[in-house]
Structure 1
């Protein structure tokens, strides 16, 4: 992911910002932030209790860049907790939407303008990335995510989420903040699929845009905090909650689908 340093810097948006939650990302975060800044202004990074020196590097970058803000959390809160801290700060400054992306270089910064344009044209919607995997993707994770995606489809009556786990997406702040404030458990790795499902339940329409994803090996600077046992247990418990909530909401969801003509 290379930033085009020769291009004209993007003009600052008053409504949409890029939000990057970051926990011990290694050196890849520097490249990720530079690439995001090459394509959007402003970019905020929420350093989620990192202990790898990335906070200091990012703060030094922000001191030289008015379009970059770094929020440092003193202790790790989890991805959802970092996103919540970011959207609360963003809402306080009048922003209405955030594009979330990972700090490890997996997400395509060059598609930020396209996702933001889709959100600006449909501000009531959420814009969800539909991942296009290459040979770098671990097949166990590619196949395993199909279960979560199928459950998310069932839980929303196939509302159009697509990939429930891909974190490259644009959220409208107000409904997401309302949901997360009400549900204190939406703070960890399983934040992304639960946010997509509950926003659908709240009437936020999903828009899908295909986007590539790249997994970096350790010798390429890749850092992964995914733990198959722990995080799959989190996802299983999350879907049990959502299935229970789906059962209670089913009559209303069916009625909405009938009224909308099945769309």
Structure 2
């Protein structure tokens, strides 16, 4: 049976979380927030919200939060999770389109192809182009349109079977999980999504640290490419 929950990785995003939860509640789905060791004010911002909260003792990163969230969702009997970032940059009016596509393709990942507004930082746009170049190399394809947008529906059982092989715990997780899913043969569907950058937006992306982690992740996947090529060649026989 198809049973979906929204999954929000949360770390010190108190300003917009109530507004985001209120908007998501209109879709009549359960909401899981993984609090990744937030400060006191951010924890208090979750009080009274119509959500399930999974609390991590200390901050481990976006990837670590999502890993725990996937496992928690599976324990609760959810077949799918809809990842939505806590900064509320994504146009959630597209949620129904994503859910409908997922219900039609329950074994697939439904991922956002982001359409950015004019305020998107150039450094972030160039960084995405570079990582998408490496996505193409590490999948031998152009099938991953965007590796970093955190607005996706995942089939829980399929993803939980992949998690032991995923080393990433921070921002690079969003990229690695797609590449490993693609290599495993999970189908990806892409839907356009409007993404807005606002003056009061809070980002925990650390340019030096996270770009180094992304580079390290791509290098690790590149060195495992020969075994993937062998797998592809064997499947073609």
Q: Same fold (TM over 0.5)?
A: yes
- Which residue number corresponds to residue 110 of structure 1? 93
1:27 aligns with 2:12: no
Which runs of structure 2 are paired with 1:43-122 in the superposition (5 Å)? 43-62=31-50, 68-122=51-105
**2:207 aligned with 1:228:** yes
- Equivalents in 2 of 1:251, 1:210: separation in Å? 33
How far did residue 15 of structure 1 move?
Answer: 1.2
Q: Which residue of 2 aligns with 1:245?
A: 224
* Stretches of structure 2 lacking an aligned partner (at least 5 in a row): none
Paired with 2:207 and 2:153, the residues of 1 have a C-alpha distance of 27
Say how many residue pairs are matched. 237
- Tell me: CA distance 1:72–1:59, structure 2 relative to 1, closer, same or farther (3 Å): farther
Contact 2:148 2:175 in 1 (8 A): yes
Task: For residues 201-239 of structure 1, give each alpha carbon's deviation from its aligned partner in whole angstroms, at most 9, with x where no partner exists.
Answer: 11101100000111122xx3x111111111110000000
2:152 aligned with 1:173: no
User: Which residue is equivalent to 2:195?
Assistant: 213
Contact 2:17 2:45 in 1 (8 A): no
User: Secondary structure in 1 aligned to 2:144?
Assistant: coil
SS at the partner of 1:76? coil
* TM-score normalized with structure 2 length: 0.94
What is the aligned-residue RMSD (CA, Å)? 1.7
Tell me, yes or no, if structure 1 residue 203 matches structure 2 residue 191: no
* Structure 1 residue ranges without an equivalent (≥5): 1-12, 63-67
Q: What is the SS of the residue equivalent to 1:162?
A: coil
Larger mean CA deviation between 50-59 and 106-115 belongs to 50-59
CA–CA distance in structure 2, aligned partners of residues 208 and 119 of structure 1: 11
**TM-score (ref. length: structure 1):** 0.85
- Residue 159 of structure 1: how far off its partner (Å): 5.5
Retained in 2: the 8 A contact 1:26–1:52?
no
Q: Secondary structure at the match of 1:72?
A: strand
Contact persistence 2:8–2:84 (CA under 8 A): yes
Structure 1 runs (4+) greater than 4 angstroms displaced: none
